[in-house]
Amino acid sequence: MNRGTTTAGESRRRSFDFAGAAFLVAAALLLPACAPAGPTPPQPPAAASSPAATSSPAATADGATSPPAPPATTAPAASPEAAAPVVPVRPATPPAAAPQEPAPTSLTVAGTSIDFPVVPGGVSDEGAMEIPDAFDLAAWYRFGPAPGATAGTAVIAGHIDTKSDNAPFSQLKSLAAGTAIRVGRDGAPALNYRVVKVELMAKDSFDGEALFRRSGPHELKVVTCGGRWLDERMDYSDNVIVTAVLE
């Protein structure tokens, strides 16, 4: 295993080092945090991590259609002679539904056993991305861009472990640049991506705005857990984030 990474199994064995940690040990065995895979995953207590995203000023994009952001110039109050801006006027009817990108249906990573169905996932009551409990199923963040979108990141996430073993997603951290990732889509041709980087992002400084961005260049982000297993949190220290771009 790579230095600096910890598989679930190692973590659990390590746990026995702590006298009096039996409860946590048992919990680790029964409740693999970050990856509860099983029919009735119990819910461990909330960890003191990952507060909701940001306190950055609210976007003020306005209007039924996406307008360009106002230029960030600091022009002084314009003189009446300046070119008059135009104000869009439209019927105050409901906006037309935005065309939906086809949803991803499968994820295959070359050279690994990752070959999963992908299902849409939303947000849990606690504000986390929802991922199915099964270890062989990945979730696509359905409120963000889809694979093949013109802008922003398509996020597909899965569990790194099962109750008893590493899940295929534990192979993500070892992917080499250039590895092929194929995303099957609902009613549309599959897309081929290439890995450009694999990184760890500490859960303590989780940057959701960057991971789940909705503008900027399109990328595929394949995410699981990684880093060190933290007994006191019942969770891993990091997220493993694979970034891939369309071929």
Partner 1 sequence: MRNTIFTAGAGAAAIAAAIALAGPAQAAEGDAQLSVLHGVPGLTVDVWVNGERTLDDFTPGTLAGPLALPAGAYDLAITASDAADASAAVIGPVSVTLAANGNYTAVANLDAAGKPTANLFTNNVSQIEAGKGKLTVRHTAAAPAVDVLAGGTAVISNLANPNEQTLTLDPGTIPAAVAAAGTTAPVIGPADVTVAEGTHTIVYAWGSLTDKNLQLAVQTIEGLHSAPGSVPGALDGSAKTAAVEPAAIALGFGAIAIALLFGGMGAARALGGLRKQR
62 lines the binding site for partner 1 (CB under 8 A): yes
CA distance 182 to 58: 35
For residue 138, give the nearest of 187, 111, 172 by alpha carbon: 172
How many beta carbons lie within 10 A of that of residue 138, not counting itself? 26
Window 137 to 156, contacts with partner 1 (CB under 8 A): 139, 141, 143, 155
Crossing angle between the packed helical segments 22-30 and 8-15, to the nearest 10 degrees: 160
Window 1 to 20, contacts with partner 1 (CB under 8 A): 13-14, 16-17, 19
230 lines the binding site for partner 1 (CB under 8 A): no
Which residues touch 219 (CB under 8 Å, ≥6 apart)? 153, 154, 196, 243, 244, 245
For residue 114, give the nearest of 245, 242, 205, 28 by alpha carbon: 242
Complex with partner 1: residue 141 or 193, whichever CB lies closer: 141
26 lines the binding site for partner 1 (CB under 8 A): yes
Complex with partner 1: residue 90 or 189, whichever CB lies closer: 90
H/E stretch holding 201 reads strand 188-202
Site string for partner 1, 167-196 (x = CB under 8 A): ------------------------------
How many residues bind to partner 1 according to rule CB under 8 A?
Answer: 98
Among 72, 150, 176, 189, indicate the residue that binds partner 1 (CB under 8 A). 72
Question: Shortest Cβ distance from residue 199 to partner 1 (Å)?
Answer: 13
Among 2, 39, 86, 205, indicate the residue that binds partner 1 (CB under 8 A). 86
99 lines the binding site for partner 1 (CB under 8 A): no
What are the helix (H) ranges across 95-241?
208-211
